[in-house]
């Protein structure tokens, strides 16, 4: 019973911090709320005795991804970026379409997890960390390496965009 109460408490705390990410106008404070959200999620995984996933959540997402996010924020002139992306019909339609698609995916995943939508869904067998590593570095090795290259290209693109006219580090 205590584990269930702790899970729901951590869920509420994570949701509150996630809302802080969304509604805080300062991007640095949003990044801080993102770290707190990721820590809350990793604590939920630890509570569910999924120690590997909890550790990965804590190290990779709360640590590395958030540091990368803050570094990218520091590269851009946020006032000009906000003006560029808050006007226009296309930008507004893109935002509403993205929000609707995200809501659709979340509701579909929620229905599948509750067992209400079972068409085409299969029961997955749980695998160990050793089996996951074997799959990742044998069958999915190419996809894993391509993902690394894509992340490198994104980082290079962020630095390049920041150095062109209008960026904070423009020449």
pLDDT in tens, 62-120: 777 777 777 777 766 666 666 655 667 777 788 888 888 988 988 887 777 776 655 55
Query: How confident is the model over 111-148, as pLDDT tens digits?
Result: 777 766 555 556 667 788 788 888 888 888 888 888 88
**pLDDT for the residue 1:** 57
Residues with Cβ < 8 Å from 37, sequence gap 6 or more? Answer: 14, 17, 18, 20, 21
Helix, strand, coil distribution of the chain in percent, nearest 5: 75, 0, 25
Residue 41: other Cβ atoms inside 10 A: 22
**pLDDT for the residue 30:** 84
**pLDDT for the residue 116:** 60
As a whole number, mean pLDDT of residues 19-26 equals 86
Comparison of pLDDT for 165 and 44, the residue scoring more? 44
**pLDDT for the residue 83:** 60
Measured distance CA(159)–CA(169) in Å, rounded: 9
Task: Say if CB 70 and CB 31 are below 8 A apart.
Answer: yes
Confidence of residue 13 (pLDDT cuts 50, 70, 90): very high
Task: Say if CB 57 and CB 38 are below 8 A apart.
Answer: yes
As a whole number, mean pLDDT of residues 52-61 equals 84
**pLDDT for the residue 117:** 54
Residue 59 has pLDDT above 80, yes or no: yes
Confidence of residue 15 (pLDDT cuts 50, 70, 90): very high
pTM: 0.56
Q: Give the CATH number of domain 1-75.
A: 1.20.120.1200
Q: Residue ranges per domain, the chain?
A: 1-75, 88-124, 126-171
**pLDDT for the residue 51:** 86
């Amino acid at each position: 019973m205590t584990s269930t109460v702790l899970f729901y408490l951590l869920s509420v705390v994570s949701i509150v911090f996630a809302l802080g990410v969304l509604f805080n106008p300062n991007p640095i404070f949003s990044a801080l709320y993102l770290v707190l959200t990721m820590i809350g999620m990793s604590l939920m995984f630890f509570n569910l005795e999924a120690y590997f996933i909890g550790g990965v959540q804590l190290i990779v997402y709360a640590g590395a991804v958030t540091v990368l996010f803050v570094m990218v924020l520091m590269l851009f002139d946020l006032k000009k970026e906000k003006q560029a992306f808050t006007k226009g019909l296309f930008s507004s339609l893109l935002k509403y379409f993205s929000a609707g698609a995200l809501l659709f995916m979340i509701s579909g995943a929620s229905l599948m997890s509750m067992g209400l939508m079972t068409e085409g869904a299969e029961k997955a067998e749980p695998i160990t960390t050793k089996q996951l590593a074997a799959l990742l570095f044998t069958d999915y090795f190419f996809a894993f390496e391509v993902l690394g290259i894509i992340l490198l290209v994104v980082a290079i693109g962020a630095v390049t965009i920041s150095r062109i006219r209008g960026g904070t580090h423009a020449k």
